[in-house]
Structure formats: C-alpha cells, structure tokens
Homo-oligomer: A and B are copies of this chain.
C-alpha cells in the first residue's frame, strides 16, 4: 500500500508545475512572469502541503500492524483527494487576483477540508481500540499523533471561511498552515 500511495503523492506534487503556464509569444516576458505571482504562491502552498501529507502518511502507516478493506478504501479516497489537488491549484493560479477568485479559492480550501476530514476518519478508524495498530507502538505515540492531527480540520475550515472575506488571505493562511504543521514532521520516523 505504501509504494502505491508514495507514488501517487509524489506524482501529484510533481504534476503541479504543469498547471503554471505563460503565453507562448509574450511581448513582455518579464512583466508577464511577474504577473504570474498567484501561480507561484499556489505552487509553493500546494507542494508544501503535499509534502506534509506525505510525512503524516508515513507516520500513520508506520504505526499499523495490518490493513483491512475499510482502511484500503479510506486510503484510496485520500489518494483520490490528493491526486485531485492539481486542479484547484490551477484554479487559484489562474483566477487569484481576477474575477472568479472567490470561487477558485473556495474550491481550493474545500479540497483541503475534504482531505483533512478523510485523513482524520482514516486515523480514527485505525486507532480506535487499536484496531490496526502494532503492539509495540506505545499509547503516548498515538496521543502525539492525535494532537498533531486535531487542528487539521478546524484550520482548513477556517481557510474556507476566510475565503469568503479575502481569497488572498485564505491562500496565505493555507501556506502558513503548511509551515505551522512542519513541526509535526518531528513525528516522522525514517
């Protein structure tokens, strides 16, 4: 399961760059490249977030003794959401700072909310009653992961709400969350 998941996550991250494009025959390339700043912001935000997701995925999988059909289904759902990410990233890249930006950022934030929800369901399914957890994983570690995952859904719901007021602020907050979440990478074990 991990090889396939790793593959999908790495590919989704690398495909993000295909969503940034500049006109083929630009009269003023410097100007056009500067105007693309929403694309760079969207690229960096999505790439970092996918990086965090990948680290968290390893943290979770490393705790598991086995997988069952429910977990496989939840994992497939999670991968489907991650692989979807290049699409809202392109929407933000193209529409931020233009008419339609609110819709674009709502779809972007909504995708992250969905991702965080599926992640939490997956983790709670595996963790409840230590259903799929390895015997040698101490409870303290499970609680550390709990604490790391708790803020995910509320934070992404917040980006969704902020998008209603300021789409740019919402994307910047999503970027900040990726930076904020990075300490949870400390959970990651090689």
Contact = CB atoms under 8 A, between A and B. Distances in A.
Contacts of A91: 22, 29, 33
A61 to B, nearest CB: 10
Nearest to A75: B51
Interface stretch (A100-108, A117-125, A149-157): A100-108
Contact of A84 (B17, B69, B190): B17
Contacts of A54: 4
A1 B103 contact: no
Contacts of A20: 87
Interface residues of A, number: 62
A7 interface: yes
Interface string A77-117: 00110011111000100110011100110010000000000
Given A33-B103, A48-B80, A8 B14 contact: yes
A182 interface: yes
10 contacts: A3-B6, A4-B9, A10-B11, A14-B15, A17-B84, A43-B84, A47-B76, A47-B79, A47-B83, A73-B185
